Chain A
Amino acid sequence: MELKSEVADSHQNQKEEEQQQHFHVLAVDDSLIDRKLLERLLRVSSYKVTCVDSGDEALKYLGLVDELKNSSSSASSSSTSIHSPEQEGSKVNLIMTDYCMPGMSGYDLLKRVKGSSWKDVPVVIMSSENVPSRINMCLEGGAEEFLLKPVQLSDLKKLQHYLLKSLDHSFSKTVHNHDFIENDVVVDSDGNKSNENSNKNNSNISKRKAVSPELPSERRPKVEGLAVV
């Protein structure tokens, strides 16, 4: 229940607006074409997208590289990580990764993520090859879904379900709801600010396909800046 200065408010507003209006997907694929296509598919579906070209880059973005070195259990938001989520301004709600990549495979990345503080983030694996044993291995490894390439718009509909699920868990690293005036700002141990999730957000998400998630008419800028209960 902090009252912040107006200047800080408007800056925070902009950041929070970006975070709050779209689910943020981290897309991992070594193929430039597939990255471009996936990025477009996700944008058309109103998701925010960050693309990286390898598992290593994905781990860096998630701030997990330091974690591995220090074997600490919390997501590292230390100063050494340039790509830490807070500095990027967005949390990751979903990871979509190609299976077959040089170096770290999608499965390797899956295991790393599931063994970290990002373990609650749904991970989807994509592959151009339909290999049942591979699919089973990934699903058993904790992947929410296995998609065959080329990924279609209709495939992305399945993903909404997992994103909604992650909201239900009041997962602190997911979308904030700015449609309510009343927001509890919670500062967790990592220094991340997040808002309590609400049902209203869910109904917005289910309409996501038909309607842009931006609902400017419902926003009330004056009150937004204040963290008020």
Chain B
Amino acid sequence: MAAGVLQLQRQLTDYTASLFSEFNQLQQLQDESNPDFVVEVVYVFFEDSERLLNELAKTLDQQSIDFRKVDAHVHQLKGSSSSIGAQRVQRVCIPFRNNCEEQNIEGCLRCLQQVKQEYTLVKNKLETLFKLEQQLLAAQRSMSTI
């Protein structure tokens, strides 16, 4: 049983380390008094991002595209992904904004696809992280009741 916990622990440590540079700052803000801080913020990020991605798809689907609106959404997404440490998402927002400025529809649509991909990637990573954490917690709990 102990070996199982240790293994989970190592898995978690390794995984966290791989996300280290991105989410380190977030992790630092979590402590015993606010153990759910990271999860809370990340879920706000998920909701926010998904809303923005939907808005982007809608706005780019119009007959007459409002590029200022598109740019405003991308600016928001860039900001929140940067704040949370999702650097790859943030990076894709940069050419996205350039395309908005140039009013390049194709460019925007391409960027939207890329942003979606990067977002999905980071979402999966984070959900895996949370799952690992929960598994570890559960294992630790079951150990302590023995």
Is there a chain B Cβ closer than 8 Å to A31's Cβ? yes
| A36–B79 touching, CB < 8 Å | no
Least CB distance from A210 to B in Å reads 16
Number of residues of chain B lying within 8 A (CB) of chain A:
20
Take A100-B75, A149-B82, A150-B83 as given contacts and tell me if A36 and B40 are in contact as well, using a CB distance cutoff of 8 Å. Answer: yes
In the complex, chain B residues whose CB is within 8 Å of the CB of A150: 25, 82-85
- The 8 Å CB contact of A36, one of B44, B76, B85, is B44
Interface residues of B in 71-100 (CB under 8 A from A): 75-76, 78-80, 82-85
In the complex, chain A residues whose CB is within 8 Å of the CB of B48: 32-33
Query: What are the interface flags for A21-60 relative to B under an 8 Å C-beta threshold, 1 for contact and 0 otherwise?
Result: 0000000000111101100110010000000000000000
| A40–B34 touching, CB < 8 Å | yes
| A31–B80 touching, CB < 8 Å | yes
In the complex, chain A residues whose CB is within 8 Å of the CB of B45: 33
- CA of A44 to CA of B6, assembled, Å: 30
Is there a chain A Cβ closer than 8 Å to B20's Cβ? no
In the complex, chain A residues whose CB is within 8 Å of the CB of B34: 40
In the complex, chain B residues whose CB is within 8 Å of the CB of A37: 29, 41, 83-84
Chain A residues engaging chain B, CB cutoff 8 angstroms: 31-34, 36-37, 40-41, 44, 100, 128, 149-150, 152-153
